[in-house]
Amino acid sequence: MRKPHEWLLDASIYFSFDRSGSERHARTWPGFRDRLRSGPDEALTGLVTGGSRGIGAAAVHRLRGMGHRVLSCGRSEQAEDTDYRTLDTGDWAAVARTVETLPPLDFIALNAGAMPERFTLNADGVELQMASQLFGHYLLVHNLARAGKLREGARVVWMSSGGMYLQRLHLRHLFENDRYDKVATYANVKRAQTIVNAQMARMPLFRNVGCFAMHPGWVDTAGVREAIPGFWRWTQGRLRTPEQGADTLVWLVTRASSGEGAADASSALESGGFYFDRRRVSPYLVPGTRETATEREALLEYLERLLAPYQVGVTP
């Protein structure tokens, strides 16, 4: 139970999303240990996209330290890591090919993200943030599910961002984006991720899979320093470490489904939910940012149309 002053600190956002918020929230977590979800003798197998640096690299390191096999991917090359592969999730043909090479997975963290400075299209003529962070990830998990490579009880985790709280879904900017602003585009894509996650939880294709979205708070990464240096300077010294940013991701993919280790002993993971610091939270904090049912349906219909040339032909 949070005390009144903690409610005020969380309501400030600044003292919730920053490092002090992570440290304060962690003091309420009842005994979560670095343990194997499937039992002491069975490690999980998973994939983390964007695993070469920042939050993704921190998640890979911690999960491997827990005894799990973690594959990772990113746009850079890492020859020294045999479980790493080079993959740009904006290259949809490459994503489709990669699914064929992956083993069955117990979890997948959809973490890859970036903010191109200028308006950029992928090979299919789609704005790159939407192409890589939204559809590329959706294509990846869709094809894994169709190919039977998401094991029963597998966890899918979308790494969204607190920046999406100020953003209402703007469908036209997802599809066309004729007035590109990297930060607004990023927030719009991250808002769309939370919506897609909630919709996936209702799909028959993912009926035996847990679908979750989360945000990591404000984290000190090279990506933040490079993409939004003004924000980084304003929050310098108060940003979370990549390890703190990765904590909820690790918690979501490893904790038991019974509710053990939850921030609230009465809570349990709920597929389709949005999480922050090991607690389910609302993705709508600002009035006027909630999309309509028609907009949700239009978003999914658009993604389904894009799937046609790239989806695997295996019936789940």
The mean predicted confidence, pLDDT, of the chain is: 90
pLDDT reported for residue 314:
42
Query: Distance (Å, rounded) from C-alpha 47 to C-alpha 177?
Result: 30
| Domain parsing of the chain, residue ranges | 41-307
pLDDT in tens, 143-161: 999 999 999 999 999 999 9
What does the pLDDT profile of the chain (316 residues) look like in tens digits?
Answer: 566 677 788 888 888 999 999 999 998 887 666 666 766 567 999 999 999 999 999 999 999 999 999 999 999 888 789 999 999 999 999 999 999 999 999 999 999 999 999 999 999 999 999 999 999 999 999 999 999 999 999 999 999 999 999 999 999 998 777 789 999 999 999 999 999 999 999 999 999 999 999 999 999 998 888 888 888 888 888 999 999 999 999 999 998 654 444 444 335 799 999 999 999 999 999 999 999 999 999 999 999 999 999 998 643 3
Phi-psi region of 259 (alpha: psi -120 to 50; beta: other; left: phi over 0): left
CATH homologous superfamily, domain 41-307: NAD(P)-binding Rossmann-like Domain (3.40.50.720)
Give the dihedral of Cα atoms 35, 40, 41, 45; nearest 10 deg: -20
Q: What does pTM read for this prediction?
A: 0.92
